[in-house]
Amino acid sequence: MRLHRNLVLAVIDSLNYIFNDGLYADKVVEKTLKRDTRWGARDRKFIAETVYDCVRWKRLYNEIAGTKNHFTQENLWKIFAVWAVLKGIPLPDWRQFEGTPVRRIKGKFDELQNQRVFKESIPDWLDALGEKELGKQWAAEINALNQQANVILRVNTLKTTKEQLQKLLLEETIETQFIKGYQDALQLSERKNIFRTEAFKNGFFEVQDASSQLVAEFLQVAPGLRVVDACAGAGGKTLHLASLMKNKGQIIALDIYANKLKELKRRAKRNGAHNIEPRHIHSTKVIKKLYDKADRVLIDAPCSGLGVLRRNPDAKWKLQAEFINNIQKTQAEILNTYAKMVKAGGKLVYATCSILPSENEKQVENFLNSHKAFNFIAEKKILPSVSGYDGFYMALLERTE
């Protein structure tokens, strides 16, 4: 593989925005890829994957390069050189690569494999927390969370079938596979820009990880029910609920962010989902009006996001211990308040994209201890090391009285 200067410069610029200006990696990559219309699919792939690699392995590369967390232009080139050497890519005869200690880089890499904080490139506090909560299992999970995520599509069954979509995408040279145990999922054989396809423009699919696709199914919805998606966001799971309900019944999509609900409206239109009613939570009245009114309530609670580190590697560096403590208080409040929307005989799913028991089963346990009207029915813990997909947790509860 040969390195091209304009692509490497795009990577260096992106890392500068992420490491020095604190911008989110996905937004930076999205913007960078629009910089030059002449870049082909391979060029774009190189930029995106290299940026994500350098973000994912930031602590490890920083330690090998000896850049001491000072991300000057010169140091960013050193970090890039570490990436290239470890990937076995020959360094061109450029001024920025003069005197790169290739053998020392490889030796230092081998030496650091004995310490998990460097081997898995994570902050000390996060490693300590993971071990405290998951014990020996933590090593396997953080290793799995450092692998590149697959691209998974969820077929919009309001408009097409899995077989039809697979055939349509193949006509646009996009190869996919079915995934055993996931009824509406297709996995891309290789990463491609699927948002330019006719199938996407026509609302035949959404991009949604396989684990995330299990949440709406877990709620046991049916056509004609009244369902509340209490933390709908931009509506990935809301749209899945609409498909499962065959556009019949009512889905009330709540969120505290009006701009996310606006995006949900746009997506719902493309999906042909007509039974969704977005409602902005601008005061507690919005929730109180729904007390005892819902057959089903989905609480896709805000969380640490540790289960989705593979697609958001910069969360490792942005997360703080204090945030995790605070978010657990928020989760408990949301569960206490939003559970009141479930009517007698109705069901509730509490879900997070975290793998920490303190955000998951412990929250459910505390809730059930103080809410005797609810019974525990089932739970699913999805570990990345076992499933190969994102880490998720979901618990199904029923209100009996």
Residues involved in catalysis:
353
Number of domains in the chain: 3
Buried b (16+ CB within 10 A) or exposed e, 160-175: bebeebbebbeeeebe
So what's the pLDDT on residue 198? 92
Confidence of residue 245 (pLDDT cuts 50, 70, 90): very high
In whole angstroms, how far apart are CA 313 and each of 14, 28, 158?
A: 14, 13, 33
Q: At a CB cut-off of 8 Å and minimum separation 6, what does 55 contact? A: 15, 18, 25, 313, 314, 317
Same domain for 110 and 243, yes or no, is: no
| pLDDT beyond 80 at 155 | yes
For residue 241 the two structure tokens come to 């609920």
Domain boundary among 100, 121, 142: 121
3-state DSSP assignment of residue 33: coil
For the stretch 23-58, pLDDT in tens is 999 999 999 999 999 999 899 999 999 999 999 999
With respect to residue 129, please indicate whether it lies within any of the assigned structural domains: no
Ramachandran bin of 343, using left for φ above 0, alpha for ψ from -120 to 50, beta for the remaining angles: beta
With respect to residue 228, please indicate whether it lies within any of the assigned structural domains: yes
So what's the pLDDT on residue 86? 97
For the stretch 92-137, pLDDT in tens is 999 999 999 999 999 999 999 999 999 999 999 999 999 999 999 9
Q: How far apart are CA 89 and CA 302, in angstroms?
A: 40
So what's the pLDDT on residue 401? 76
Same domain for 363 and 234, yes or no, is: yes
Same domain for 18 and 167, yes or no, is: no
Residue among 134, 135, 102, 138 at smallest CA distance from 120: 138
With respect to residue 79, please indicate whether it lies within any of the assigned structural domains: yes
Confidence of residue 250 (pLDDT cuts 50, 70, 90): very high
So what's the pLDDT on residue 41? 87
For residue 324 the two structure tokens come to 């995790």
With respect to residue 112, please indicate whether it lies within any of the assigned structural domains: yes
Residue among 55, 133, 144, 135 at smallest CA distance from 325: 133
3-state DSSP assignment of residue 224: coil
- What is residue 91's DSSP assignment? P
So what's the pLDDT on residue 191? 86
Same domain for 261 and 245, yes or no, is: yes
For residue 189 the two structure tokens come to 């054989």
Q: At a CB cut-off of 8 Å and minimum separation 6, what does 11 contact? A: 47, 50, 51, 54, 80
Tell me the mean pLDDT in the region 73-88: 97
Tell me the mean pLDDT in the region 75-83: 97
CA atoms within 13 A on the CB side of 153: 32
Contact 278, 305 (CB under 8 A): no
Q: What percent of the chain has pLDDT over 90?
A: 97
User: Side chain identity at 256, as an amino acid letter?
Assistant: I
Same domain for 176 and 254, yes or no, is: no
| Strands 342-352 and 392-399, sheet pairing | antiparallel
The mean of the pLDDT values for the chain is: 96
The domain of 40 spans 5-121
Domain boundary among 207, 222, 245: 207
For the stretch 316-338, pLDDT in tens is 999 999 999 999 999 999 999 99
Contact 154, 206 (CB under 8 A): yes
With respect to residue 319, please indicate whether it lies within any of the assigned structural domains: yes
CATH number at residue 203: 3.30.70.1170
Same domain for 198 and 269, yes or no, is: no
Contact 228, 339 (CB under 8 A): no
So what's the pLDDT on residue 349? 98
